[in-house]
Structure 1
Amino acid sequence: MFRIRRVQDATWPGDARIINQVQDILREQFPLLSAEDLAKLPEQLSNPLKFRFRTILFAAEGSDNRLKGFALLMHAPDLHFGYLDFISAAKLQTGAGVGGALYARVREEAKALGLTGIYFECLPDDPALCPDASILKQNKGRLRFYERFGAKPIAGTAYETPFKPGDSCPPYLVFDPLDRGDKPLRRKDAQKAARAILERKYAGRCPPGYVDMVVESFQDDPVLLREPRYEAQNGRSQDHVGVRILHQDKRIALVVNDRHDIHHVHERGYVEAPVRIKSILKELEPLGLFQRVDVRHFGEEHILAVHDRKLVEYLKRASALLKPGESVYPYVFPIRNAAKPPRELPVRAGYFCIDTFTPINHNAYLAARRAVDCALTATLCLREGYRAAYALVRPPGHHAERRVFGGFCYFNSAAAAAHNLSSLGKVAVLDIDYHHGNGTQDIFYHRDDVLTVSLHGHPRHTYPYFSGYEEEKGEGPGIGCNMNIALPEGLNGESYREELARAVRRIKKFAPRTLIIALGLDPAKDDPTGSWTFTAKDFERNGRMLGELRLPTLVVQEGGYRIRSLGNNAKHFFLGLAAGLFGR
């Protein structure tokens, strides 16, 4: 089994590792490439204007994260064609289905971009052009491979003319019409593509007059493709049949808190119940959009990076002292003197909690810590190449501040993930729960590397009541890096999206490297904790707007308590997110 993904950013950890391995394969498989050509790959990805091609790199990785092969597609958006610069398997990987899977992925991308076709060069299978028998055999194998996809050399042109007289094995220009056999290749389009390839790829290498000579040699209209010489297979290669392929750049990593159900509060009216996770998974798993990833364990230092040690130690000790099934609710709050807490831990709960309905029980600490593990595991997925990851967790976390817990939240999983990802550059945290993300705001209120944006019911009528006003914009270095959009009690999806567009504009201006979405599904119609009227289609449209930011995106589950619609709303949100992010 191997996975294929698009490599996006030469400075991103997982992508930088892959680029180094691509350069190793190029060095090994194409020994005549200059050091300059090898070194320019990272810049090709980041600076399309310089090279006059938009570079698209696909990598096939094994389960050991070793590169099995790659394909490098050069996209000419001004001329609506693609040029396949390289496609290669790593040493000892030929014949393993890697090449066929990569080329199929390239064709899929080209079709999604609406390209007229893919051009590439392939060494000839004509003995008159390539007299070396061993090389000729390899060339025939490559052309046979591409012919299975419907790609054939362009006939009747001078493209095969070598740069230097006497050179052998000049390449054919091959064209793949992408299964558009009913739309012939027009002469003017082929001429423009040939000129662009020669001038952009071979700048400074073509002798004077060479490009004009080749372009003018295209006389047929429509352009003729060579008749098939090898056995075709209905336009589709079978080379990768039987090989398990995961298109990672089209999948969302799914990390589920496998210990969420140990935190089960049985009191009547406690809506933050384990059935929430089951309801969401029931709708998501049949989509084929998600890839389950096992939870990894992380040290407590990741929690201490966003929470005060006194809070962490209290939750750990208080939870451990309680018997299974026993819960303690805060009922004494130290308004006058927080400096001298009582000796008994149950009485001390109010020193660390902001409300009276978030209990501590035997497993609260363990479940909350595992939720943080899930969010951090999801950050690893982003680092290693997934474009999106979903931490499906309970308990939620966005109400947990640096020093206090509440609102069913104990540790702020989204904040721990944001702090972790901030080592790679700026992070935007967008909270779309019905309730204000007071915890995330508090944790990052003085920082300028994490933008916090929250759309929520106005605190005049909505929990947590004491924060979420629009004048709260950050302090010190963080001034301007907190944005609250407080919304009326009655609101439909269309009006909400006008405000969501404001949030999107602010995120674009901040220009983060990653986006974290604190996903609340409690804006849904008839949710017991909200007053808005969102439908499944509203969640889908919201998801699409956020996906169109095209940022590496981590979604962390927060609220949402109407079980009948919970899973369906989650499904539609992710369908929209995928459509925006992946171009589905």
Structure 2
Amino acid sequence: MFRIRKIYDDTSVANRHAITQVQAIIQQQFPTARREDMEKLPLQLHDPVKYKYRSVLFVADDTAGNVKGFALMLHMADINVTYLELISAAPRKNGGGIGSLLYERIREESAKLKVNGLFFECSIDEDRVADPATLKNNQLRMKFYERYGVYPVCNNAYDTPVKPGDKDLYYLMYDALDTGAPLRLPLAQAVVRAILERKYHGIVPKEQVEEVVESFRDDPAILRAPRYKAKPAAVHKHEKTAIALVVNEGHAIHHVSDKGYLESPIRLPQILKEISRTGLFERVEPRKTPAALLRRIHDPEYLSFLHDVCKQLPVDKSIYPSVFPGRNRYRKSTDVEVQIGCFCTDTTTPLNRNAYLAASGAVDCAVTAAEMLLEDYDLSYALVRPPGHHAEWSKFGGFCYFNSTAAAAEYLSDYGRIAVLDIDFHHGNGTQDIFYERPDILTVSIHGDPSYAYPFFTGNAAETGKGEGKGFNMNLPLPEDCSVELYQKTLAKALKRIATFKPDYLVIALGLDTAKRDPTGSWNLVAKDFHRNGTLIGAMELPILIVQEGGYRTQTLGTNARCFFEGLHQARKKDAAS
């Protein structure tokens, strides 16, 4: 099994590991490739100005990060075309349709960019190739492209040697991306000039560039007639338009029936019932999260404590902290009900036998939903409880035990820069605490001012990060009587800050407790306002993961969630159509 994911830069460990493997594949599969071309791969991914094109690397890899194949696409925005520079399966990995899947993803990406065509080179398949084995491989490659209705551009000097005796000769191929659009002469000449001057800079002499460009004279260009009996490819759409939905089905085991405890199991069915009406979602089964990931966001001692205490509690008993040791946390008591104050921030979040299990299930769902952004989905939603954004590095509180939002962000941080936007009514103190010294994960929170709203002691605008993370935490506290207009103006400000950070993925901690009459909040957002919020967020041209946090007014909870996702999805459809 493998997935195909996009790599825009080499800033993360996983991306650098993938790029190193791609370079090894190039060295093995293209022995005549210049060393400098392999070495420039990481540079061209993050310096489009220098190379005069934006590079996007697609890798087919498994969950362990083993690369099975790759395709490198260049987007030349100034002439509005894409160019497939390289595509290859790893040695001994040329089965399983990897080449087809990679090429189809390149075509999809090109179509999404609304370019005037996809271009690439293909080795000549005529008797000028002396070696029979090479000729056969070239013919098979051409037959592959004919299956997609892609043919060489005829009547030009593109397939002539740069130097006398050169044996690596190529046709220029044109893929109209199923539009049937003819290749007009001005575009053909512009494309040829761009390829020769940018990709072959310093290799093809200026005089030869002009000669090859001028050899293109047909308007529109004439494409070679089919030569092979190639059955048309059954093209599949790989990027999903549905929203991946991962539901914590086992959440109901965590049911605290104590009077006044608002985080009840009914919350999830209410949301699920309403969003299911939209037809926007595709269910995905959760996968187990490695324990090592939890240890990256939570203190191992804290994890062990929660596991052991919850396991030993009776089924029908919940215990609440009542004593908080402060600086003397490490002077341990033998009384479990006293000990829990070492790891908690309030007196309203109990531990019981199933708290650990339910919270673990929520993390599994959130991380699985994050994985979906690497597996063809552009939007995903982890519908989970208990919530998680108040869970800090070594403390639980605010109905939260494990920080599912932070776990998902931490997982994605292996694949690029992450922005977390918390739109729960309450400050995401746990997420802030976990990432406060990190420059690779931007945390932004819109919430009730801590002068009146839980958790009271965090969430001020002056809290902007620490050390390397200075400037990468943004708090936007709002007044108790915040108007809808002020809220959405603040949301626009948050999204602007996120845009300047230029993340690869956006994680939304979705609180629906900003709703009118929510028992834990004081604001007055209604269904149309949640729709507008979804529209504003959906307009961000980023893969987006939504993790469910708070929201406790069950009468409107489902409707508000449905409206948010309808707005989110409509914004994406609008962007795709424009």
Shift of 1:194: 0.7
Shift of 1:110: 0.8
Counterpart amino acid of residue 289 in structure 2? R
Shift of 1:193: 0.7
Aligned counterpart, 2:176: 177
Aligned counterpart, 2:508: 517
Q: Which moved more, 1:204-213 or 1:377-386?
A: 377-386
Q: Is the 8 A contact 2:83 2:119 kept in 1?
A: yes
Superposed CA deviations along residues 356-390 of structure 1, whole A, max 9, x for unmatched, are 54333222244335545665677788899998775
Aligned counterpart, 2:287: 294
Alpha-carbon distance in structure 1 between the residues aligned to 2:314 and 2:396: 21
Superposed CA deviations along residues 520-546 of structure 1, whole A, max 9, x for unmatched, are 12224554433332435224224325x
Structure 1 unaligned regions, length at least 5:
none
1:229-248 map, 5 Å: 229-231=227-229, 236-238=232-234, 247=239
Aligned counterpart, 1:213: 211
Alpha-carbon distance in structure 1 between the residues aligned to 2:464 and 2:259: 38
Alpha-carbon distance in structure 2 between the residues aligned to 1:123 and 1:290: 43
Partner secondary structure for residue 68 of structure 2:
strand
Aligned counterpart, 2:569: 575
1:61 aligns with 2:54: no
Counterpart amino acid of residue 521 in structure 1? L
Q: Which moved more, 1:477-486 or 1:48-57?
A: 477-486
Shift of 1:112: 0.8
Q: Is the 8 A contact 1:454 1:485 kept in 2?
A: yes
Aligned counterpart, 2:551: 560
Aligned counterpart, 1:98: 98
Partner secondary structure for residue 24 of structure 2:
helix
Alpha-carbon distance in structure 2 between the residues aligned to 1:86 and 1:29: 11
Counterpart amino acid of residue 44 in structure 1? Q
Alpha-carbon distance in structure 2 between the residues aligned to 1:475 and 1:21: 35
Counterpart amino acid of residue 537 in structure 1? H
1:211-290 map, 5 Å: 211-231=209-229, 236-238=232-234, 247=239, 257=248, 259-267=250-258, 270-280=261-271, 283=275, 287=280
Aligned counterpart, 1:193: 191
Judged with a 3 Å threshold, the aligned counterparts in structure 2 of structure 1 residues 148 and 191 are, in CA distance, closer, same or farther, namely same
Counterpart amino acid of residue 192 in structure 1? A
Superposed CA deviations along residues 118-144 of structure 1, whole A, max 9, x for unmatched, are 1222222333x3354443333332222
Counterpart amino acid of residue 532 in structure 1? N
Aligned counterpart, 2:87: 87
Tell me which of 387, 396, 405 is aligned to 2:387.
Answer: 396
Superposed CA deviations along residues 188-216 of structure 1, whole A, max 9, x for unmatched, are 11111111111112222224521111111
Aligned counterpart, 1:48: 48
Alpha-carbon distance in structure 2 between the residues aligned to 1:286 and 1:398: 28
Alpha-carbon distance in structure 1 between the residues aligned to 2:443 and 2:364: 21
Alpha-carbon distance in structure 2 between the residues aligned to 1:445 and 1:19: 29
Superposed CA deviations along residues 255-298 of structure 1, whole A, max 9, x for unmatched, are 65565332111345533223434455564796466754412241
Shift of 1:37: 2.1
1:204 aligns with 2:197: no
Aligned counterpart, 1:484: 475
Q: Is the 8 A contact 1:12 1:383 kept in 2?
A: no
Aligned counterpart, 1:77: 77
Superposed CA deviations along residues 133-182 of structure 1, whole A, max 9, x for unmatched, are 4433333322222122221111211222222335456322121112222x
Shift of 1:79: 0.9
Aligned counterpart, 1:498: 489
Counterpart amino acid of residue 54 in structure 1? R
1:126 aligns with 2:126: yes
TM-score in terms of structure 2 length = 0.81
1:357-376 map, 5 Å: 357-369=348-360, 371=362
Q: Is the 8 A contact 2:319 2:352 kept in 1?
A: yes
Q: Is the 8 A contact 1:521 1:569 kept in 2?
A: no
How many pairs are equivalent?
Answer: 570
Alpha-carbon distance in structure 2 between the residues aligned to 1:131 and 1:339: 78
Alpha-carbon distance in structure 2 between the residues aligned to 1:251 and 1:41: 33
Counterpart amino acid of residue 45 in structure 1? L
Shift of 1:60: 2.3
Alpha-carbon distance in structure 2 between the residues aligned to 1:94 and 1:378: 30
Aligned counterpart, 1:138: 137
Counterpart amino acid of residue 541 in structure 1? T
Q: Which moved more, 1:73-82 or 1:344-353?
A: 344-353
Aligned counterpart, 2:160: 161
Counterpart amino acid of residue 210 in structure 2? D
Partner secondary structure for residue 26 of structure 1:
helix
Q: Is the 8 A contact 2:75 2:83 kept in 1?
A: yes
Shift of 1:80: 0.9
Counterpart amino acid of residue 237 in structure 1? A
Superposed CA deviations along residues 468-501 of structure 1, whole A, max 9, x for unmatched, are 4445556788765543322244556554231022
Counterpart amino acid of residue 551 in structure 2? G
Partner secondary structure for residue 169 of structure 2:
coil
Counterpart amino acid of residue 525 in structure 2? T
Alpha-carbon distance in structure 1 between the residues aligned to 2:251 and 2:148: 48
Superposed CA deviations along residues 31-50 of structure 1, whole A, max 9, x for unmatched, are 11122222222222122222
Shift of 1:429: 4.0
Shift of 1:451: 5.0
Alpha-carbon distance in structure 2 between the residues aligned to 1:198 and 1:192: 10
Alpha-carbon distance in structure 2 between the residues aligned to 1:442 and 1:91: 45
Alpha-carbon distance in structure 2 between the residues aligned to 1:313 and 1:98: 43
Counterpart amino acid of residue 150 in structure 1? G
Tell me which of 522, 529, 534 is aligned to 1:540.
Answer: 534
Counterpart amino acid of residue 406 in structure 1? G
RMSD: 4.3
Alpha-carbon distance in structure 2 between the residues aligned to 1:281 and 1:574: 17
Aligned counterpart, 2:397: 406
Q: Which moved more, 1:417-426 or 1:134-143?
A: 417-426
Partner secondary structure for residue 291 of structure 2:
coil
Alpha-carbon distance in structure 2 between the residues aligned to 1:581 and 1:40: 33
Shift of 1:115: 0.9
Q: Is the 8 A contact 1:3 1:246 kept in 2?
A: no
Judged with a 3 Å threshold, the aligned counterparts in structure 2 of structure 1 residues 273 and 582 are, in CA distance, closer, same or farther, namely farther
Q: Is the 8 A contact 1:525 1:533 kept in 2?
A: yes
Alpha-carbon distance in structure 1 between the residues aligned to 2:293 and 2:161: 64
Partner secondary structure for residue 455 of structure 1:
strand
Partner secondary structure for residue 209 of structure 1:
helix
Alpha-carbon distance in structure 2 between the residues aligned to 1:207 and 1:324: 79
Partner secondary structure for residue 119 of structure 2:
strand
Tell me which of 453, 458, 480 is aligned to 2:449.
Answer: 458
Judged with a 3 Å threshold, the aligned counterparts in structure 2 of structure 1 residues 333 and 414 are, in CA distance, closer, same or farther, namely same
1:9 aligns with 2:5: no
Judged with a 3 Å threshold, the aligned counterparts in structure 2 of structure 1 residues 581 and 374 are, in CA distance, closer, same or farther, namely farther
Aligned counterpart, 1:25: 25
Judged with a 3 Å threshold, the aligned counterparts in structure 2 of structure 1 residues 476 and 166 are, in CA distance, closer, same or farther, namely closer
Q: Is the 8 A contact 1:521 1:570 kept in 2?
A: no
Judged with a 3 Å threshold, the aligned counterparts in structure 2 of structure 1 residues 24 and 278 are, in CA distance, closer, same or farther, namely farther
Q: Which moved more, 1:223-232 or 1:275-284?
A: 275-284
Counterpart amino acid of residue 177 in structure 1? A
Alpha-carbon distance in structure 2 between the residues aligned to 1:71 and 1:420: 24
Alpha-carbon distance in structure 2 between the residues aligned to 1:51 and 1:167: 26
Judged with a 3 Å threshold, the aligned counterparts in structure 2 of structure 1 residues 65 and 192 are, in CA distance, closer, same or farther, namely same
Alpha-carbon distance in structure 2 between the residues aligned to 1:222 and 1:403: 67
Judged with a 3 Å threshold, the aligned counterparts in structure 2 of structure 1 residues 83 and 400 are, in CA distance, closer, same or farther, namely closer
Tell me which of 425, 429, 452 is aligned to 1:438.
Answer: 429
Judged with a 3 Å threshold, the aligned counterparts in structure 2 of structure 1 residues 180 and 10 are, in CA distance, closer, same or farther, namely same
